[in-house]
Amino acid sequence: MTAVLPPHPATPALRAPRRLSRTEDGERLHALLWTVGPGRRAISSAVLGGGIGERAWVLNAQVAHGYRRTDPERHLASLAADAGLSGAGVGLMTAADVSAYAHAGDAGVEAFVTAGVDVRGWAARPGEGAEGAPEPGTINVVVAVPAALTDAALVNAVATATEAKVQALVGSGHDCSGTPTDAVCVVADTPVPGQEAHAFAGPRSLWGARLARAVHRAVRDAVAGARQGRPGTADVTRETPAPGY
């Protein structure tokens, strides 16, 4: 018997970002801004608004190559204020041109990726790690799920997104697991009493499988754009049909 899958939401889990621009240190830099809306929360490794909690917006800001500020959280908060944002949000940084982002959707899940892969390698390697604030992340993944996830499922979703990212990198011919400063943000509905919150987001779970496919496609397309040095916007939107089982 064929299982009945949840219907696709009428509105996207995360709409296309608003593009912002500014001049900083003599350079024209860009940023992507998503308005999350009420009743949503995020889990993120971002320097601003990281951890788990309700978030109203997500900002992915481009900074200059060779960025050396030691207060990235304050810098991002200032950029958010300049954009008129208020309330708690998530702020990510990258030296990659965020106006050239990739987007993929899968059965209601939306994934947006900006990528620069000049500095890449494997996670496990000899040597000690460095202390202090790292340089801005170069592969930033922002993904939204139109369903409520438990805290454990949010952690599971981060692991699934990371697995899909690595799969896309290796499949694209890169002998690496990422860059030293990649960041991820997963947005989902906030659980409310009396309504189901999904307890799993691994790659074989309902929402985890959709998340993995969306992130895999978006990372693959973003990396391809970075390799080609493609200027401008690379907004690649593709819908993968849900399997009928």
Question: Which residue matches tokens 């960041």?
Answer: 183
Check pLDDT > 60 for residue 240. no
Bridge partners (DSSP) listed for residue 62? 94
Q: What is the pLDDT of residue 1?
A: 46
Check pLDDT > 70 for residue 94. yes
What is the rounded average pLDDT for all residues in the chain? Answer: 85
Please give the order of strands across the beta sheet that includes 89-94. Answer: 18-24, 27-35, 57-62, 89-94
b/e per residue, 127-147, with b = 16+ CB within 10 A? eeeeeeeebbbbbbbbbbbbb
Q: Mapping DSSP to helix (H, G, I), strand (E, B) and coil, where does residue 9 land? A: coil
b/e per residue, 228-240, with b = 16+ CB within 10 A? eeeeebbebeeee
Check pLDDT > 70 for residue 66. yes
Q: What is the pLDDT of residue 181?
A: 83
Check pLDDT > 60 for residue 134. no
Q: What is the pLDDT of residue 53?
A: 97
Q: What is the pLDDT of residue 128?
A: 62
pLDDT grade for 132, boundaries at 50, 70 and 90:
low
| Spatial distance between the Cα atoms of 181 and 129, rounded to a whole number of angstroms | 12
| Spatial distance between the Cα atoms of 231 and 219, rounded to a whole number of angstroms | 17
pLDDT grade for 231, boundaries at 50, 70 and 90:
very low
pTM for the whole thing?
0.86
